[in-house]
Structure 1
Amino acid sequence: MTTLQKMFSADGTTIDENDDSIKEYIYSMPAAANEAIRMLVTSGVHLKNSNTVSKQESTPLVVDLTAENSDFWRMKEPEVYQMQDGDIQPYYGCTLYGNRYLRFPENATGEFEYWYDSMPAEITQETSDDTVISIAPEAAVLIPLYMASELYKDDDLSTATYYRNEFEAGLALLVNPVSGSNKFTSTTGWW
């Protein structure tokens, strides 16, 4: 809806699905949404998820991260914690192979939690309108800008460029947030 509002194709609350020009946009939306999501996630705006495994001593354990986690994207370095007696401690004994297989040493035993970077599920024509995309909210608001820029290219290039510039500016702020201090120092002594 937000994308169509930006493209001046929705009156604000309803979509006329019988309008052929709107249907064309709607059919093209999943691909544009997926492009935007991939750009945001691979630029560094992603969520971390976790999963737990139990391991017995002297039993080999290799976790296929892609098979166990449908939203698995990557694990830069193993981030694993061991849970013992209500306490959580970092566990440094795991090895990651091929960004897919997390191997625990044979002497490891107990309950472990591992963390990974996730990739939101792909958007399709069947994805419902109320589906929440598992991406940071501050990044999710940029998706309609990217979609409008892609879908509006053939109709109004200047408006499409405007939306793409807004998307790129928002992405730059997410990737490289403006930092500063709220302190003030008078160098002239006027205060």
Structure 2
Amino acid sequence: MPTLHASFAGEVVRQAFGLQWLFALRGPTPCYGEEKQALAYLTMKPVDQPARGPWCCATTAVTRRLLNADDFARWARSEGFAVLRPSAWHLTVVRYPDGARRIDLDASDLRVEAHLARYVARMSGVIALCFGSRELSSRHEAHLAAGGRWDFLTYRPHVTFTPDDGRDVRQVRPFDGPLLFGPEIIDHGAI
């Protein structure tokens, strides 16, 4: 596939996936994080696109990699999803402005057991497995208290795993295995 320029990358993604974009929480100038993620899936390579708006300029993220991505990928394929990038799957705990002081990162792995509150959701052009976790919510709150930021009204732990293909996600059976996450890391490229 030819290289796509960032100036029209968002339009290419919109046309390719028929995506609906959620700008209500971000004001009149959209942040293109979701477009960047969907375009990375489309081209299967990272896309450098300038951030727009004060909410996504010069930030780093605290993330946890999904360690059992192979199990998760098997589940996603069994549910009919084909565009998958397991090596990129992670959970974002919080974002920090570049140069901000942060609390110490949690160096331990985290296991989130399956429970009935899991569901598959459409989230601004991508599809994600959403779940609850007291440990993750507590870490998120601790990072916020230390100066971290979150661009949304609530923290909903999730793993984004594929671009939105328009299917009825209510018909998708959620992943029923444990989710195994690595330690918290600073990720300058998380979207």
TM-score class, shorter: under 0.3
| TM-score after normalising by structure 1 | 0.20
Greater RCO (CA < 8 Å, at least 6 residues apart): 2
Larger gyration radius, structure 1 or structure 2? 1
